[in-house]
Structure 1
Amino acid sequence: MIIRQRTINSKYSEELAAECLEWIKEVTGEPINTSGDMDNFFEVLKDGVILCKLVNALQPGTVKKVNESKMAFKCMENISAFLEAAKAFGVPVQETFQSVDLWERQNLNSVVICLQSLGRKAHNFGKPSIGPKEAEKNVRNFSEEQLKAGQNVISLQYGSNKGANQSGINFGNTRHM
């Protein structure tokens, strides 16, 4: 179990975590410590309050009630509310995390991935974004004539059978000695 946890922790990037915290501070205006070390990242986000304030800063009223209580189930409610909002904002399910990943400090790297993914969507809400810009759709429309012309082309991937014959094929034949 300890080895597995070390493997998960080895994927954690302090630089990306610091970038996420810096972005959260910029979007929310909250005075938070933006150090990317694991302990600080966990302490800043563990109760879910900052996460709820983040999604409310992106789109006001997203999380109706932010629980300021430090009781475990109230903190888990905050984290769950953030996750639901992140999914609604377009963060893919595979880029989100489980509440226990943050609350029990099991996989902080997945929290960073989720925040990075949400950060890429921030420009949709008129806020600064982080990370690489998302690709946009590049829809192409072909005419019927162009589509028919494409059916007559033999792709080079099909290869050629020039000079092919069946000489040398003896599978299933009897051997003559």
Structure 2
Amino acid sequence: MSRLECIAVEAGGDCEGQEVVLMEPRPFRPFKSSEEYLVAMKEDLAEWLHRLYHPQLNIDFDNFMDVLEDGVALCKHANNVRRTAMAYKEKLEQRDSQRRRKFSTHLDIPDRDSFFARDNVHNFIQWCRLLGIYECLLFETDDLVLRKNEKSFILCLLEVARRGANFGMPAPVLVQFEKEIDREIAKEGNLENGNDYDEEEDMMELIEYGPQAQIVTNDLRSLDEMVRDLVENCSCPTQFPMIRVSEGKYRIGDTKMLIFVRVLRNHVMVRVGGGWDTLSHYLEKHDPCRCRAGRKKF
């Protein structure tokens, strides 16, 4: 192998001196492009939970829903988030008595036998409400137990991971990407407004966020090469514009809207609002020739 594409978990990171995790390619699974972002999220969450709780929790993409459907692992994770939140609160109070955050004392959920799967899942949903997760991001018990809406469950669990990351818990790679992008936007905003950028404060945020193992994909193409491969599928007389600004940052379409792109395993992901989509599906919604092709299918 001549080289590996290194994706820094934290902004400005490099490969030297950090733990490196080689992520094996997933076997081919046929799915619609509109479903690919859920596949990517599910892979990421499965990897995250595996690293958090292995060997007690043997979870991967294929058994993801089966392992979590009884709610036991979810309740254990909720308890773990609460313990981490309380430790984080104590740390803040010790460092600065003026910076205090309130945490509910009712977040603890009792673990139960798998016979009580519905009770476990219901308790987890109630705990998510106490955590402050918006109703639009919550799921219903049958969404997990009866697989009525896997999308709702996956999006809710990703939001739980975001909240845990704010307390210093290890986070899925997508959440790490979000933190990296948010720091980049904040830094550029400060510089454009003529404000000083506080490197020390930024480093403190990195420390509080917690050190994470670096993720290495085994696709030897660069991010820009993967983006170009997708853009070149355009069949318009004038190719749909997607201009590289810097690594992972592009201006797209006639409006030159700025987007952030990252690679997760073999998925090229785009930050969309507060969430993610795949670049392939994103282009289907914005590239005129792909939009027309999509309409002809119906």
Instruction: Give the shorter-chain TM-score range.
Output: 0.5 to 0.7
Measure how far apart 1:49 and its partner are: 0.3
Moved more, 125-134 or 114-123: 125-134
CA contact (8 A) 1:47 1:103 kept: yes
Task: Look up the equivalent residue of 1:63 and give its one-letter code.
Answer: D
TM-score by length of 2: 0.37
Measure how far apart 1:91 and its partner are: 1.8
The correspondence for 1:13, drawn from 34, 38, 41, is 38
Measure how far apart 1:135 and its partner are: 6.0
Task: Look up the equivalent residue of 1:69 and give its one-letter code.
Answer: S
Change in Cα spacing, 1:128 to 1:49, as seen in structure 2 (3 Å) is same
Q: Deviations over 1:3-57 (max 9, x none)?
A: xxxx9x94772221121122223344553344223xx122111100000011111
Higher strand share: 2
Partner Cα distance (1:105, 1:46) in 2 = 9
In structure 2, stretches of 5+ residues that fail to align are 1-31, 84-105, 187-298
Partner Cα distance (2:52, 2:150) in 1 = 21
Runs of 4+ off more than 4 Å: 9-12
Q: Deviations over 1:136-164 (max 9, x none)?
A: 9x9xxxxxxxxxxxxxxxxxxxxxxxxxx
Q: Could you tell me which residue of structure 2 aligns to residue 25 of structure 1? A: 50
Partner Cα distance (1:50, 1:82) in 2 = 10
Give 3-state SS (helix, strand or coil) of 2:113's partner: coil
CA contact (8 A) 1:59 1:125 kept: no
Structure number with bigger Rg: 1
CA contact (8 A) 2:50 2:60 kept: no
Alignment of 1:44-63 (within 5 A): 44-60=67-83, 62-63=107-108
Q: Could you tell me which residue of structure 1 aligns to residue 111 of structure 2? A: 66
The answer to whether 1:79 aligns with 2:121 is yes
Give 3-state SS (helix, strand or coil) of 1:78's partner: helix
Aligned length in residues: 126
The correspondence for 1:42, drawn from 61, 65, 69, is 65
Give 3-state SS (helix, strand or coil) of 1:91's partner: coil
Give 3-state SS (helix, strand or coil) of 1:106's partner: coil
Q: Could you tell me which residue of structure 2 aligns to residue 100 of structure 1? A: 142
Instruction: Indicate the percent of aligned positions where both proteins have the same amino acid.
Output: 27
Higher helix share: 1
Partner Cα distance (1:107, 1:91) in 2 = 18
TM-score by length of 1: 0.60
CA contact (8 A) 1:56 1:62 kept: yes
CA contact (8 A) 2:137 2:155 kept: yes
Partner Cα distance (2:167, 2:153) in 1 = 21
Measure how far apart 1:121 and its partner are: 1.1
Partner Cα distance (1:92, 1:135) in 2 = 21
Measure how far apart 1:102 and its partner are: 0.4
Change in Cα spacing, 1:64 to 1:42, as seen in structure 2 (3 Å) is closer
Structure scoring higher RCO (CA < 8 A, sep ≥ 6) equals: 2
In structure 1, stretches of 5+ residues that fail to align are 1-6, 139-177
Change in Cα spacing, 1:93 to 1:109, as seen in structure 2 (3 Å) is same
